[in-house]
């Protein structure tokens, strides 16, 4: 019986963490102006829940229980720091919140306010999107570093400095004025898309946390569009995520094997999602302010024409990647552009384009680069080099299904 209660408490705590971590951190941070302290207090609250819930039973409203426990942790911590400047004021603020918000109150969703605070220009540009990922979605430094091709140690230092900056400068936790929006919006869009990409790495939707991340990112994208209806890049991002999510059912066959985009059964794609994405992209284009996410969504649109024509519009894809690369100078875009060039001009031309970015040391651990290089080398007849590149890609791939796919490609040559 005790084991069952432990398991129930753990399952409920994990579900709340997946669903509401960012909402709880935002609620606490907006009131204390201290993101790091709010995260620590919430972590302590989850630990307390795992200790108490098996004894007392899971509360009817676990989210509110955790919030109350975290606020008490913050109040206790503030009392211990009475000698620090402004501690008394912070203590009064937290005490007022404890009295003002009863345990059963529904927690207000203030995640966008926290996201835009994390994107404030006072925070170093390289830390903004990573900070949003950690505060809103609870990603650790290693996961965030992997997404941004930065070591966990370096990313951890960036995040600590950014949270200190928020506390020391009193950055407001709210949507910025219209004039300040463009400067901050990019980091918010980048963070939402990075969250979606993390969820996208579980194509079959079998890992609950990652599936929730994909759904959460789309939800945040919809919320951003509703709050900023005149912002075309918000629509472009939502369209991009919907195009990708529409293809999820086709990314694995019935045996669970990975199926690359070019070989997917287009009849399995979600037509309603694609139609919504097309409408969003069309509406965004009317603003006549083209940005990265609109261009990336347009690339996906050029892929999904295969539903009707039988083939992607590769000429359009190359042109879109040209524009994207001019805009972003991204090595990821450069890799995708090289693959598209191979479809229009042949593998030799594609390989030449890929070689232009091959000197970047970050690519040594970037699996898509090695997979693309292996494929293009194999198509040019350079079998030994292709096999070596496949070996590198296989060693860097964590998904067993993708690893099997790469191994099969290697064996063919």
Ordered by start, the domain boundaries in the chain are: 2-109
Q: What is the pLDDT of residue 87?
A: 52
Question: Closest Cα partner for 339 from 261, 250, 274?
Answer: 261
394 backbone φψ class: left, alpha, beta (φ>0; ψ -120 to 50): alpha
CB-CB neighbours of 21 under 10 Å:
20
CB-CB neighbours of 102 under 10 Å:
9
Is 56 within 8 Å of 15 (Cβ atoms)?
no
Query: For residues 246 and 333, what is the distance between their CA atoms, to the nearest angstrom?
Result: 22
Q: Which two tokens stand for residue 291?
A: 């940005």
Q: Which two tokens stand for residue 208?
A: 């609950």
Query: What is the full per-residue pLDDT of the chain (413 aa) written as tens digits?
Result: 556 667 877 888 888 777 778 788 888 887 888 888 888 888 888 888 888 888 888 888 888 898 888 888 888 777 666 544 445 555 555 555 444 444 444 556 677 788 888 888 888 888 888 888 888 777 778 878 877 778 888 888 988 998 888 888 888 777 777 777 777 888 889 888 988 887 776 544 455 455 567 887 898 899 889 878 889 999 999 999 999 999 999 999 998 899 999 999 999 999 999 999 999 999 999 999 999 999 999 999 999 999 988 899 999 999 999 999 999 999 999 999 999 999 999 999 999 999 988 778 888 889 999 999 999 999 999 999 999 999 999 999 988 999 999 999 999 98
Query: For residues 247 and 267, what is the distance between their CA atoms, to the nearest angstrom?
Result: 10
Q: What is the pLDDT of residue 274?
A: 97
Q: What is the pLDDT of residue 278?
A: 97
Judged by DSSP in three states, 10 sits in helix
For residue 199, count CB atoms less than 10 angstroms from its CB and return exposed for 0-12, middle for 13-18, buried for 19 or more. Answer: buried
């Amino acid at each position: 019986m005790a084991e069952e209660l432990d398991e129930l408490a753990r399952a409920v705590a994990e579900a709340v963490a997946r669903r509401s971590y960012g909402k709880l951190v935002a609620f606490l941070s907006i009131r204390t102006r201290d993101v790091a302290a709010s995260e620590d207090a919430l972590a302590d609250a989850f630990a307390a829940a795992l200790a108490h819930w098996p004894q007392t039973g899971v509360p009817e409203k676990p989210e509110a229980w955790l919030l109350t426990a975290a606020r008490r942790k913050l109040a206790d911590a503030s009392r211990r720091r009475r000698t620090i400047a402004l501690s008394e004021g912070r203590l009064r603020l937290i005490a007022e919140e404890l009295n003002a918000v009863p345990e059963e109150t529904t927690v207000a969703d203030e995640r966008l306010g926290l996201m835009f605070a994390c994107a404030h220009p006072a925070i170093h540009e390289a830390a903004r999107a990573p900070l949003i990922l950690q505060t809103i979605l609870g990603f650790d430094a290693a996961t965030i570093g992997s997404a941004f091709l930065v070591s966990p140690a370096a990313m951890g230092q960036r995040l600590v400095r950014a949270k200190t900056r928020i506390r020391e400068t009193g950055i407001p936790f709210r949507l910025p004025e219209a004039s300040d929006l463009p400067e901050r919006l990019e980091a918010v869009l980048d963070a939402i898309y990075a969250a979606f990409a993390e969820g996208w790495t579980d194509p079959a939707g079998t890992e609950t946390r990652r599936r929730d991340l994909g759904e959460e990112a789309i939800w945040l994208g919809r919320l951003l569009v509703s709050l900023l209806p005149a912002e075309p890049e918000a629509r472009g991002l939502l369209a991009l995520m919907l195009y990708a999510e529409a293809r999820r059912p086709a990314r694995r066959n019935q045996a669970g094997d990975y199926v690359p985009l070019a070989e997917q059964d287009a009849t399995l794609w979600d037509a309603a999602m694609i139609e919504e994405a097309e409408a969003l992209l069309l509406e965004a284009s009317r603003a006549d302010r083209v940005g990265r996410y609109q261009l990336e969504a347009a690339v996906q649109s050029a892929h999904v024409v295969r539903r009707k024509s039988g083939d992607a519009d590769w000429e359009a894809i190359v042109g879109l990647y040209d524009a994207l690369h001019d805009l972003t100078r991204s090595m990821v875009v450069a890799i995708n552009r090289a693959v598209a060039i191979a479809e229009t001009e042949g593998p030799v031309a594609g390989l030449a384009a890929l070689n232009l970015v091959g000197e970047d040391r970050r690519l040594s651990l970037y699996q898509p680069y090695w997979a693309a290089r292996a494929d293009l080398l194999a198509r040019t007849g350079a079998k030994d080099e292709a096999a070596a590149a496949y070996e590198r890609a296989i060693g860097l791939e964590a998904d067993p299904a993708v690893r099997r796919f790469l191994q099969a490609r290697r064996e063919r040559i």
